[in-house]
Amino acid sequence: MELPTFKEAEGEREFRVEVDILSRLEHPNLVSLIGYCADGKDRFLVYEYLQHGNLQDHLNGQFIAQNTILIPKSLISHLVICNCILGYGKAKMEWPLRLKVALGSARGLAYLHSSSDVGIPIVHRDFKSTNILLNANFEAKVTILRLPNNLN
């Protein structure tokens, strides 16, 4: 379905405003916007890569590390001694690590709610464990995939 010209222009303006705002949000507990792609009608936001995936997978013990080590699935069950180091298997997060992630996530939200670098408070609207990503040191970074409509 083709959009009328004025709706295309409005969508482009909203995208540019969103990129501008997201690029100004800088905090250790927010996922950083690296850049964007605007090619024809396609629009993409590019965020930093976080090695340990999202919090939900760790809480459920479903995270499988994607390291440079390739191990056949048939051998994964034999890696009991490497379970916590490589992330294979069903190991769940221990409570001290959960607390570290919770505090990091809270710091990221507090930054957004306290005007941040944009000048107005931002309410996340979709805060859940799949939107909390973890870096190599298991430090939490909150993702902001879409801004509230009132900011566009």
> Torsions phi, psi of 46, nearest 5?
-115, 120
Angstrom distance (rounded) from CA 90 to CA 83: 8
Are the beta carbons of 76 and 89 closer than 8 angstroms? yes
Q: Is 126 a catalytic residue?
A: yes
Local structure of 45: helix, strand or coil: strand
> Torsions phi, psi of 138, nearest 5?
60, 35
Are the beta carbons of 19 and 45 closer than 8 angstroms? yes
Please identify which of the residues 42, 57, 117, 126 carries the catalytic annotation. Answer: 126
* Residues noted as catalytic: 126
